[in-house]
Structure 1
């Protein structure tokens, strides 16, 4: 009987959609039903377990789940003994210390003797200890940002993405403790058969992530500018150069990371590039 992988994902919240979209993009179809705690793929030996986000690291450590999609912040907080396979690029946030906007603050020494409310006491305590800051940590779960407004704390330590929640509650971000994003993790003690399946899943995810960061670029250029323009393009290997019907001109095709395109667009135009097209890529296999 063929082995099947158990993959733990958040049952609801910001990690849920990103996890299932990534599996789907990798060609793994999940038979999802409403309020299911477990769902199976019909075209890959894989089952999805829908769990509370905070429980996922321990489920992977215990071997209940072979793989898990979880925020890096939880791995740090739980000191989870798992292996990170891939950073997934979504659900990016940061764990930060914030204070009421009217509170005086010059540097981290102003936290001495303060009461800080948080759902991440282990990470916060380590951060403060490394900086020789003595502060009182008040552990609460949920609605941390309201703590200073009701006199429960002087400051908070919580996850921040856009910062809008802090703004609405009159708080200002002062210290970033760590940056986090969704990561794919695995149990460290798996059979060879499961390791082989995981490598297949990881390969599919990597091709999808590579494509998301890259674009296909097509442009026209004078033949005598081909080398100069090619040198400007960060590519996988080398660009494809095709002759145009117009004498003395070529079409250059390549793959470029989207953020790097904006760094070189002016240089490409100055070198003689015309008719520049940027096209999305579905998959990249390297």
Structure 2
């Protein structure tokens, strides 16, 4: 590497804890300090800094960071020239893309974006929102919101807001109504172009991505291990989903087999009773950190 370490930007705010937990599953322990923006990481090849997701792509583009994590929305908003290494679909709430939505007061007469002609819209995503309404040919006054955006509609400071949501719970709790979805966004691993061109830094970035993706893949999966009567293996094959095929090993008792599989966690509640009915015993379910 041109420098003795890789500079990693960790998103501060709502994604901070989820990011640190993801890195922990991938094999890196990041330790925060209460009074500074430079967490420790248990890898002397990497130095960490905290930065707001909204600004991350700017810092990666200008070389402050070699690599960072931020939303595709902010890459677009900042028009940043960075390398998108991969998508990392994770969040503090759910493993699905977040949505930027156009919201109005629940009792307002507005039902479509076109109904907001000449009205005021508040948002943190100013550039994209302006482009969205321009594409519709609708003239609105878009202003930047520094936070508590939902309250601005309720207090009558604007006619509508463009806000990010995953479940819509906060929007409904504030008495607002969604009238349009503007875009979906998810977290991306991005790299500075010069860092990506450095063979050693690129190798480390790809290593980080590989293990992060493995941790994400394992997030919804579990391992199942059991003893199964040998004469029931054929019957069980249809009930044993796995990434390739089950791992089967002989036991000391020739009438029994040890069987191990990796499955989606959501099917386990249905699968275990089926396996038990086939005669499986000693069924063990265990979490997975990474699936590569």
**Ranges in structure 1 where 5+ consecutive residues have no aligned partner:** none
5 Å matches for 1:1-286? Answer: 3-11=4-12, 13-30=13-30, 32-91=32-91, 93-190=98-195, 191-219=198-226, 223=230, 226-227=233-234, 229-242=236-249, 250-259=257-266, 261=268, 265=271, 268=274, 272=278, 274=280, 277-284=284-291, 286=292
Q: Residue 16 and residue 182 in structure 1: after superposition, are their counterparts in 2 closer, same or farther (change >3 A)?
A: same
- 8 Å Cα contact 1:221/1:273 also seen in 2: yes
Question: In 2 relative to 1, CA 153–55 (structure 1 residues): closer, same or farther, beyond 3 Å?
Answer: same
Deviations 1:257-276 (A, max 9, x none): 224556x7499569847555
Once superposed, what is the RMSD of the aligned Cα atoms?
A: 3.1
The 8 Å contact of residues 239 and 275 in structure 2, kept in 1 or not, is answered as no
Shift of 1:50: 1.6
What count of residue pairs does the alignment treat as equivalent?
Answer: 283
Give the ranges of 4+ consecutive aligned residues of structure 1 lying more than 6 Å apart after TM superposition: 244-248
Deviations 1:222-245 (A, max 9, x none): 656534543454422210234578
3-state SS of the aligned residue for 1:147? helix
Q: Give unpaired runs (5+ residues) of structure 2.
A: 92-96
Query: Is the alpha carbon distance of 1:234 and 1:63 closer, same or farther for their aligned partners in structure 2, counting shifts above 3 Å?
Result: farther
- Normalising by structure 2, we get a TM-score of 0.81
Asked if 1 retains the 8 angstrom alpha-carbon contact of 2:89 and 2:186, the reply is yes
Counterpart CA distance in 2 for 1:271 and 1:126 is 59
Superposition deviation, residue 53 in structure 1: 2.7
Following the alignment from structure 1 to structure 2, what is the Cα–Cα distance between the partners of residues 77 and 260? 39
> 1 CA distance for matches of 2:201 and 2:147?
37
Give the corresponding residue for 2:94: none
